[in-house]
Structure 1
Amino acid sequence: MKNLHMGEASARPRVRELVINWHITEACNFSCRYCYAKWDGAEKELIHDWGRTQKLLNEIASFFAPSNLSNPLQQALSWSAVRLNLAGGEPLLYPEAVLRVLAEAHSLGMNTSIITNGTRITEDFLDQLAPLVSMIGVSIDAASDATNVGIGRVDRRGSLLNNQELARLLAKARTINPGLHVKLNTVVNALNAEGDMGNTINTFRPDRWKIFRMLPVVTGDLAVSSEVFEAFIARHARYKGVMCVEDNDVMSESYLMLDPRGRFFQNSRGQQGYSYSQPVDVVGATQAFTDWRFAVGSFASRYSHSSNGAVR
């Protein structure tokens, strides 16, 4: 298979879920300075064309079905289920489309989850969302309002995320769906690297706290050194029970990702920008995946280090 990096491991890890991350939009109500949600031709968002979206979902469900032994990933990994994770930009700028996609994915046998900045979650919407997803991930980078403003985590009206209100809503989501997991994502950068997230973690009580080092895919603005990143991790070692750390090397070529146009895309080590496949709904998932550069060994190792057999 062209451009498929297998790695050296011969034993196939078996995992519970294979996660497909679909970034449905580049649009966002925040303007984070290091945001990597910048794709070529992203204005042609598939999410606004239901016919093409259905075709994409059908292709993904069929190609990544555990029973599809012709999927090249089966050479390095085996899995029991597939989860479609919606991200952005901010996916909840399009709430009705999100609910429709999640319901369709379920009808095709996939599990579902979502990553959001949390600002568009309301009581009424949560009643519809919580039963459809197994995980809600929220991006929170700092406890300080001043730091969040400096990062760009503020909308055009100057509104910031209300952590206390969001924590209350997520607690409600857990009562609606007792199996729901809550995850926090934090990007360590030059503005928050000296901070302490303890009060935030205590407020949200997440099942998982994923900590990333700022990834210079689009820009090097606010990048931090390995030493600074490691100091942030050490400062929060008391949360190691829920902490999952990803430095830049781990994040390169090791996620299954779709862009807003329905193309597989990937960042490469030491390079800015992305490489893309052809649109999945146009050429089919098999052809798009074959034409795409993907490090299977790195991807498989992400699962083998997980405590529950799913990407954390």
Structure 2
Amino acid sequence: MAVKPASELVINWHLTEACNYTCRYCYSKWHADGAGKELIHNAASSATLLAEIYRHFAPTPRNHARLGMKWQSLRLSIAGGEPLLYDREIVRIATQAKAIGFNVSLITNGSRLTRPLMAELAPQLSVLGLSLDSALPAINREIGRADRHSLVLLQEELSEIVALGRKLNPDLRLKINTVVNALNFTEDMSPLIRQLSPDKWKVLRMLPTVTSDLSIADYEFAEFVDRHTLLGNIISAEDNSDMVESYIMIDPRGRFFQNSLSGGGYRYSAPILDVGGEAAFRQINWLAKKFISRYTAEASEYMA
């Protein structure tokens, strides 16, 4: 039986800004601020960061007391940009993280996920996340979910690659992330979701952290969610207020960062490798209760 998500504390490391898509509402844009290059390109620095993050967030009584909640395991969620633009680095980091003690997940747009790469990654992953905002090629192109040659994701091929991953790792869970915006809020994505049969479908309202382009009203987000209620309890809907200060996020240069509903970009900590995980984490706002509230099942069990 799949582990309930609330039993894990999830650390989201956005390894790169680079992406082969140009989504108009992309939030994966970070200020360099003289902080150096993306750590993904430095094997030694990446390994040191992984060790420090695990030390700071490992499920120990001391860490439970410091964060004000309990968790049973720690998951590193590898995200971007599009992380599979650097597939060799991703395989290395996923393998290192699992060896340290993390569960490992990967969030990708799927466009660079090949069968040979899936064969390497599937044994390392507990969760494969796919960012899919539309089943319609025209809508994907208008959003910006197409490469520089205007090619969009081939969904049939993706379905076959996902099936291969599940065959190689029967415990692999599939999660789909969909950003609901002004171009897709009237769409019925049920056929695509049923085809891929994810364990979880996270439906997120477009967050105007970097831009308000394609933002939607409350009732438009509600319409999208209501249209898909027949899919059952795999749906997890998150409005803008649910996302702020409820995620633990690290930017490509190894800084904790946090977003704001008021816009204006992100707030950053000092680089973790410079000041350590504990000091850096104190420099951003994160609310344990908001993290737990995203997981309604057994929520009270995980509060200290």
TM-score, normalised to structure 1, is 0.90
**Residue 19 of structure 1: SS of its match in structure 2?**
strand
1:37 corresponds to which of 25, 28, 48: 28
Tell me which amino acid in the other structure corresponds to 1:175.
Answer: K
Given the alignment of the two structures, is residue 284 of structure 1 paired with residue 276 of structure 2, yes or no? yes
Q: Which residue of 2 aligns with 1:133?
A: 125
**Residue 172 of structure 1: SS of its match in structure 2?**
helix
2:62 corresponds to which of 52, 59, 69: 69
Given the alignment of the two structures, is residue 27 of structure 1 paired with residue 21 of structure 2, yes or no? no
Given the alignment of the two structures, is residue 199 of structure 1 paired with residue 191 of structure 2, yes or no? yes
Could you tell me how far apart the structure 1 residues matched to 2:38 and 2:149 are?
A: 26
Given the alignment of the two structures, is residue 234 of structure 1 paired with residue 226 of structure 2, yes or no? yes
Query: Would you say the 8 A contact 2:6–2:292 is kept in 1?
Result: no
Q: 1:72 Cα deviation (Å)?
A: 5.7
Could you tell me how far apart the structure 2 residues matched to 1:266 and 1:304 are?
A: 23
Q: Which residue of 1 aligns with 2:9?
A: 18
Q: Which residue of 1 aligns with 2:112?
A: 120
Could you tell me how far apart the structure 2 residues matched to 1:211 and 1:43 are?
A: 34
Query: Would you say the 8 A contact 1:15–1:78 is kept in 2?
Result: no
Give deviations 1:195-223, integer Å, cap 9, x for gaps. 11011112111111110000000000000
Query: Would you say the 8 A contact 2:179–2:205 is kept in 1?
Result: yes
Give deviations 1:244-303, integer Å, cap 9, x for gaps. 100001011110100001111001232331001111112110110122222232123224
1:98 corresponds to which of 78, 90, 95: 90
1:49 corresponds to which of 29, 39, 42: 42
Q: Which residue of 2 aligns with 1:271?
A: 263
Given the alignment of the two structures, is residue 158 of structure 1 paired with residue 150 of structure 2, yes or no? yes
Q: Which residue of 2 aligns with 1:11?
A: none
Query: Would you say the 8 A contact 2:67–2:288 is kept in 1?
Result: no
State the percentage of identical aligned residues.
46
Query: Would you say the 8 A contact 2:110–2:130 is kept in 1?
Result: yes
2:253 corresponds to which of 228, 243, 261: 261
Q: Which residue of 2 aligns with 1:109?
A: 101
Query: Would you say the 8 A contact 1:34–1:214 is kept in 2?
Result: yes
1:220 corresponds to which of 201, 212, 216: 212
TM-score, normalised to structure 2, is 0.93
Tell me which amino acid in the other structure corresponds to 1:51.
Answer: A
Quickly say closer, same or farther: Cα 1:305–1:35, change in 2 above 3 A.
Answer: farther
Query: Would you say the 8 A contact 1:23–1:258 is kept in 2?
Result: yes
Query: Would you say the 8 A contact 1:30–1:152 is kept in 2?
Result: yes
